[in-house]
Chain A
């Protein structure tokens, strides 16, 4: 009798469970799965609102014949390879500096670093354009002149345009990484530090042998998500350089956007988006295999 009651309650609970899981599943199907499946379908079509045609693999073959696609992949890879490690390193150093502060001061600095994250990308781009003013009176040019470096055409030269976007990305996107690292650092059991102190470890030895291994799961997470986000970068190039000069800052995200919304070539844009998703997936798996082999979650 008791068992039957228990089973009934379990069945009831299971039903409620399904009801509540139903909501996120439906949201996932509508907002994630359906667009992905639809993009896959459109990638085999020449899409037009009134007359869509099936074109087989031609969107993929056109993409793979397009030199600009490979240039944009290369630009995106360079952007990712520089921004992700530097962002993580800078955020890690800032977090190490923040942890000894009292809670109130820590919160203040976390808020300061997070502030650019809540500002709109357009507003940020205005500020950064002002910083990168190409004339000698520009802010950054005035700073470098103090070090004897000559005036730079930051966003207008292919030699400095990508560097400018990288600087902007690193300094605008530190906030969330700092907050995650601070949380990870605060989660380290203080006894490890005590043991390290007893063993006479220096500050750098404590970082190397205690802190770095303890925050490795966080670093792996930040690296993988950072690479995924950097590969999808679009806004900075769109707002700051439009991909120029001479395609020096054309990222894959911008190329996809232009194909879809400038030329209405949705089929090719979807094909490029799926190829990009494939590249990101390969990188993510590779990173996970290499970096997370000895990480336990």
Chain B
């Protein structure tokens, strides 16, 4: 009998614990309070190497400066954060603040869970930012978050190899290069014995979704800076696409890039770069200079954790070549802190507090420390001031610093004028047509003309012929 009672008790406890998670909150205005303090919740990834270690210190600073508020931070890895956030958003209970790339604004805007903080943030907060960059977090008239940084996505070379091939990398950093110059330069980087390549001229990570980076970073320099032109016509249907794709394919046919490029992932190509199997690599970020330097130090110290077979490498930031006489345009990944609401209507006071916390995380010392670790410059005045007071990074290549600054001035302008529904359709075409066809093109299985036709077909279906550039 005792056993039965115990079993019933355990069963009841199990059911109770199961049902406990299904409880509902009272409808109406959402109130999150702890000891009378308004709680602001944030979901954040490891933005830079020591960012997550510093977060608790940042939260403490914020809470001390705002005794009526409590900033609660949940951390997640880069691999998990999108899935975690997506589940929370679609369940109607997202965090108040999340760190995302600005391209995600359209996606979350469609769920109607993003908060237009232009109504809640102080004027000084908004004016702290470079106007061109804050626009990345705008759609229409709404402002949905504060940017943390702009990370220039370009390509990078091995200094010794570039010089050995007679490539004037300093001149290229200043003046850029054309596709034709680039094509000839990477041919010089190839080392082979018969059909066996021991070094390629250029390797870009193209496995899976990484191929999208190759396409989007390079297509900007072929006169198609965004998926839509100023008249909101879809641009990738333009006839300029075919010669661009032919040029991309020619680099593989030349033997300057591996014919297996479509399955070279980010880890593999970085390994190829450090082990001198390629002269130039992509995508390249400023922080790669630090990664290469760290590996050099390990090699010098005979540290076993250095990449196996790697050599001392000096990383040189290089711009992407221009195609068909078009102007150089850099791709900038603008990431930052967006603000969400839950299913229940939040109070204006709470939203003001959320905007205040988002600004705190995206500005001042926090922005400066993050940017320094990523080898980039802050994009807000308060961040620049704090950056100036930080001890300088030792051994930083000044040429790279200037090259990145120069590229930052060429970042394609934000397009808050693209309506969310058009943006969402373009993303779907990119994922379901451009990416798979581009992978097919790199694998040598489809022609540039076939890829262009597939893009045109999908775009006309989505936007109509009048909604596409048909030159």
Point out residues on A near B: beta carbons under 8 Å. Answer: 16, 19-20, 22-23, 26-27, 30, 47-51, 68, 129, 132-136, 151, 153-159, 241-247, 250, 258, 261-264, 266
Smallest Cβ-Cβ distance to A261: which chain B residue = B86
- B246 near A: Cβ within 8 Å? no
CB–CB B262/A26 < 8 A = no
Of B214-222, B287-295, B371-379, B429-437, the segment with at least 4 beta carbons within 8 Å of chain A is B429-437
- B442 near A: Cβ within 8 Å? yes
CB–CB B343/A49 < 8 A = yes
CB–CB A155/B263 < 8 A = yes
Q: Determine the chain B residues whose CB is within 8 A of the CB of A154 once the complex forms.
A: 263
CB–CB A244/B431 < 8 A = no
CB–CB A50/B8 < 8 A = no
Partner of B89, one of A49, A158, A242, A250: A49
Q: Determine the chain A residues whose CB is within 8 A of the CB of B64 once the complex forms.
A: none
Q: Determine the chain A residues whose CB is within 8 A of the CB of B83 once the complex forms.
A: 261
Q: Determine the chain A residues whose CB is within 8 A of the CB of B68 once the complex forms.
A: none
Which of A244, A250, A263 has the most B CB atoms < 10 Å from its CB? A244
CB–CB A245/B111 < 8 A = no
CB–CB A19/B8 < 8 A = yes
CB–CB A50/B440 < 8 A = no
11 A-B interface contacts by CB (under 8 A): A26-B18, A49-B90, A49-B91, A49-B92, A151-B260, A156-B262, A156-B442, A242-B209, A246-B445, A263-B107, A266-B90
CB–CB A246/B113 < 8 A = no
Task: State A51–B8 Cα separation when bound (angstroms).
Answer: 42
- B259 near A: Cβ within 8 Å? yes
- B405 near A: Cβ within 8 Å? no
Known: A242-B209, A246-B437. A157 touches B431 (CB 8 A): no
CB–CB B92/A50 < 8 A = yes
Q: Determine the chain A residues whose CB is within 8 A of the CB of B91 once the complex forms.
A: 49
CB–CB A23/B14 < 8 A = yes
Contact with A along B263-283 (1 / 0, CB 8 A): 111001000000000000000
Main secondary structure of the interface of B (DSSP, over half): helix
Query: Which 8 interchain pairs have the tightest Cβ spacing?
Result: A156-B263, A134-B260, A156-B262, A245-B439, A246-B440, A242-B208, A49-B92, A153-B260
Q: Determine the chain A residues whose CB is within 8 A of the CB of B107 once the complex forms.
A: 263-264
Task: State A129–B267 Cα separation when bound (angstroms).
Answer: 11
- B25 near A: Cβ within 8 Å? no
Partner of B112, one of A48, A246, A258, A263: A48
Contact with A along B435-470 (1 / 0, CB 8 A): 111011011011000000000000000000000000
Partner of B208, one of A68, A241, A261: A241
Smallest Cβ-Cβ distance to A242: which chain B residue = B208
CB–CB B259/A158 < 8 A = no
Q: Determine the chain B residues whose CB is within 8 A of the CB of A129 once the complex forms.
A: 265
- B119 near A: Cβ within 8 Å? no
- B424 near A: Cβ within 8 Å? yes
- B261 near A: Cβ within 8 Å? yes
Q: Determine the chain B residues whose CB is within 8 A of the CB of A49 once the complex forms.
A: 89-92, 111-113, 343
CB–CB B18/A158 < 8 A = no
CB–CB A132/B439 < 8 A = no
Task: State A256–B436 Cα separation when bound (angstroms).
Answer: 17
Q: What's the nearest-Cβ distance from chain B to residue A128, in Å?
A: 12
Besides A156-B262, A244-B435, A246-B440, 18 other A-B contacts (C-beta < 8 A): A16-B4, A23-B11, A23-B14, A47-B90, A48-B112, A49-B111, A50-B343, A153-B260, A153-B262, A156-B261, A158-B443, A243-B436, A244-B211, A245-B436, A250-B436, A261-B86, A263-B427, A264-B90
Smallest Cβ-Cβ distance to B268: which chain A residue = A133
Known: A153-B260, A244-B208. A30 touches B18 (CB 8 A): yes
Q: What's the nearest-Cβ distance from chain B to residue A242, in Å?
A: 4
- B207 near A: Cβ within 8 Å? yes
Partner of A245, one of B14, B262, B427: B262
Known: A48-B112, A50-B343, A261-B86. A245 touches B445 (CB 8 A): yes
Q: What's the nearest-Cβ distance from chain A to residue B436, in Å?
A: 5
Point out residues on B near A: beta carbons under 8 Å. Answer: 4, 7-8, 11, 14-15, 18-19, 22, 83, 86, 89-92, 107, 110-113, 196, 206-209, 211, 258-265, 268, 343, 424, 427-428, 431-432, 435-437, 439-440, 442-443, 445-446
Task: State A20–B268 Cα separation when bound (angstroms).
Answer: 55
Task: State A93–B327 Cα separation when bound (angstroms).
Answer: 63
Task: State A275–B6 Cα separation when bound (angstroms).
Answer: 44
Main secondary structure of the interface of A (DSSP, over half): loop
CB–CB A158/B111 < 8 A = no
CB–CB A158/B445 < 8 A = yes
CB–CB B7/A20 < 8 A = yes
Q: What's the nearest-Cβ distance from chain A to residue B208, in Å?
A: 4
Q: What's the nearest-Cβ distance from chain A to residue B192, in Å?
A: 11
CB–CB B260/A135 < 8 A = yes
Q: Determine the chain B residues whose CB is within 8 A of the CB of A20 once the complex forms.
A: 7, 11
Known: A50-B113, A242-B209, A245-B440. A134 touches B428 (CB 8 A): no
Smallest Cβ-Cβ distance to B427: which chain A residue = A263
CB–CB A247/B260 < 8 A = no
Partner of B15, one of A26, A47, A156, A243: A26
CB–CB B90/A134 < 8 A = no
Q: Determine the chain B residues whose CB is within 8 A of the CB of A261 once the complex forms.
A: 83, 86
Task: State A145–B4 Cα separation when bound (angstroms).
Answer: 66
Q: What's the nearest-Cβ distance from chain A to residue B349, in Å?
A: 21
Which of A68, A132, A264 has the most B CB atoms < 10 Å from its CB? A264
Task: State A151–B262 Cα separation when bound (angstroms).
Answer: 14
Q: Determine the chain B residues whose CB is within 8 A of the CB of A22 once the complex forms.
A: 11
Q: Determine the chain A residues whose CB is within 8 A of the CB of B440 once the complex forms.
A: 158, 245-246
Q: What's the nearest-Cβ distance from chain A to residue B435, in Å?
A: 7
CB–CB A50/B112 < 8 A = yes
Q: Determine the chain A residues whose CB is within 8 A of the CB of B445 once the complex forms.
A: 157-159, 245-246
CB–CB A264/B442 < 8 A = no
Task: State A153–B263 Cα separation when bound (angstroms).
Answer: 7
Q: What's the nearest-Cβ distance from chain A to residue B358, in Å?
A: 20
Q: What's the nearest-Cβ distance from chain A to residue B412, in Å?
A: 23
Smallest Cβ-Cβ distance to B212: which chain A residue = A242
Q: Determine the chain A residues whose CB is within 8 A of the CB of B112 once the complex forms.
A: 48-51
CB–CB A135/B258 < 8 A = yes
Which of A23, A27, A47, A68 has the most B CB atoms < 10 Å from its CB? A23
Q: What's the nearest-Cβ distance from chain A to residue B426, in Å?
A: 12
Task: State A134–B269 Cα separation when bound (angstroms).
Answer: 12
Q: What's the nearest-Cβ distance from chain B to residue A145, in Å?
A: 11
Task: State A68–B429 Cα separation when bound (angstroms).
Answer: 12
Known: A155-B263, A244-B208. A48 touches B435 (CB 8 A): no
Task: State A42–B429 Cα separation when bound (angstroms).
Answer: 24
Smallest Cβ-Cβ distance to A24: which chain B residue = B11
CB–CB A68/B432 < 8 A = yes
Task: State A49–B343 Cα separation when bound (angstroms).
Answer: 7
CB–CB B443/A156 < 8 A = yes
Smallest Cβ-Cβ distance to A153: which chain B residue = B260
Smallest Cβ-Cβ distance to A239: which chain B residue = B208
